[in-house]
Amino acid sequence: MRLSGKSALVTGAASGFGAAIAETFAREGAAVTILDLNGDGAAEMANRFGGASVKGDVTRAADIESAVKTARDHGGSLDIIVNNAGWTHRNKPMLDVTEEEYERLYDINVRSIFHMTRACVPVMREQGGGVILNIGSTAGIRPRPGLTWYNSTKGAVNLLSKSMAVELAPDRIRVNCVAPVIGATALLESFMGVPDTPENRAKFVATIPLGRMSEPQDIANACLYLASDEAEFITGTVFEVDGGRTV
Ligand SMILES: NC(=O)c1ccc[n+]([C@@H]2O[C@H](COP(=O)([O-])OP(=O)(O)OC[C@H]3O[C@@H](n4cnc5c(N)ncnc54)[C@H](O)[C@@H]3O)[C@@H](O)[C@H]2O)c1
C-alpha cells in the first residue's frame, strides 16, 4: 500500500474527481477525511471506506479549520491535502458572466486554497513536512472560449502551486498541481454550455489526441503518485492528465 500511515484531507470529495481520489487514497492505506458542501454525500462516501467527513464550505476559513482538526483527530497527523473542490459558471460569452458568478468562482476555486494554506502549513511545518495537491486544469493552459473567468481561476491555481512549491520547499512541504482535461462529472454540461448528448461530447473528444475524456480514476492515479513517497523529489509540477490536449 502506497499511502499507509498517512492522513489525507480531500475537499469536494462527495462526487466527481474528489470521490475517486478519496477512495483511491483509502484503498492505498491512508486515513481519509472529506470536506464537502454536500454533507450527506460526503458522509456516504466516507462510510464506504471508514473515513471521516465534514459538511462545510471551502470558501469559509472556519470550515476549513474544522476539517483540518477532524483530519488530525481521525488520522493522527496531517500529511496530504488535496484542494479539489471547484465550480464553474456555465460556458457563455465573458460579458454575460455576472459579478456574483465571478465572485463565487474566485471564492471556491482560489480563495479556498488561500484558507487551506493558512490552516495546513503551520501544522505541516511543525510535523516536518507534507504534501499539498491542487486540482488545476488544462483550462489554465489551453483555454476554451466561453469559460474565460473559469479559465483564469485555473491559471491562478496552476501558477500558485509552483510559487507555493518554491516557498515551502525548505519546510519539506511538496506542492504539485494536477491539471485534468474535461471529464464527465457533474460539471460537464456547464463546461460544454450545450446539452450533454453523444454528439456534443464527440466535439470535445475530437480535441483530445488520445480520443476520450478524462475519467475520475485517471485523476486519482496521478494524485496517488504525487502524494506518495515515490514522488519525494517532485515539487512545483503542473501534471497534465489530458490525453495530449495541451501538447
Ligand atoms: N470535470 C472536468 O471536466 C474538470 C476538468 C478540469 C478540472 N476540473 C476540476 O476538478 C475539480 C473537481 O470537479 P469535478 O469535475 O469532480 O466536479 P463535481 O461537481 O463532481 O465535484 C465538485 C465537488 O466540490 C463540492 N463543492 C463545490 N463547492 C464547494 C464549496 N464551496 N465547499 C465545499 N465543497 C464544494 C461539490 O459539492 C462537489 O462534491 C474542480 O476543481 C474542477 O474545477 C474538472
Atom nearest to 219 CA in ligand 1:
10
The domains found in the chain, sorted by start residue, are: 7-187+215-241 (3.40.50.720)
* Cα separation, 239 vs 179, whole angstroms: 6
Atom nearest to 150 CA in ligand 1:
43
Rounded to the nearest 10°, the torsion over CA 37, 43, 45, 50 is 140
Q: Strands 52-55 and 31-36, how do they pair? A: parallel
**Which residue from 9, 17, 40, 70 has its CB within 8 A of the most atoms of ligand 1, so it is best to mutate?**
17
Q: Give first-to-last CA distance, the chain, whole Å.
A: 33
Strand partners, 130: 173
- Residue 170 CA to ligand 1 center (angstroms) comes to 31
Angle at 29 between CA 26 and CA 33, to 5 degrees: 40
pLDDT recorded at residue 222: 99
Quick one: DSSP state of residue 183? B
Per-residue three-class SS string for 4-55: CCCEEEEECCCCHHHHHHHHHHHHCCCEEEEEECCHHHHHHHHHHCCCEEEE
Q: Which amino acids are annotated catalytic?
A: 150
The x, y and z cell numbers of residue 150, run together, are 473559469
Q: What is the pLDDT of residues 110-152, one digit of tens each?
A: 999 999 999 999 999 999 999 999 999 999 999 999 999 999 9
pLDDT recorded at residue 235: 99
pLDDT recorded at residue 161: 98
175 lines ligand 1 (CB under 6 A): no
Tell the residue nearest (CA) to atom 7 of ligand 1.
Answer: 137
Q: Per-10-residue mean pLDDT for the chain, 247 residues long?
A: 98 98 98 98 98 98 98 98 98 98 98 98 98 98 98 98 98 98 97 97 98 98 98 98 98
192 lines ligand 1 (CB under 6 A): no
- Residue 201 CA to ligand 1 center (angstroms) comes to 19
Q: What number of other Cβ atoms are within 10 A of residue 110's Cβ?
A: 19
Contacts of 122 (CB under 8 A, 6+ apart): none
pLDDT recorded at residue 110: 99
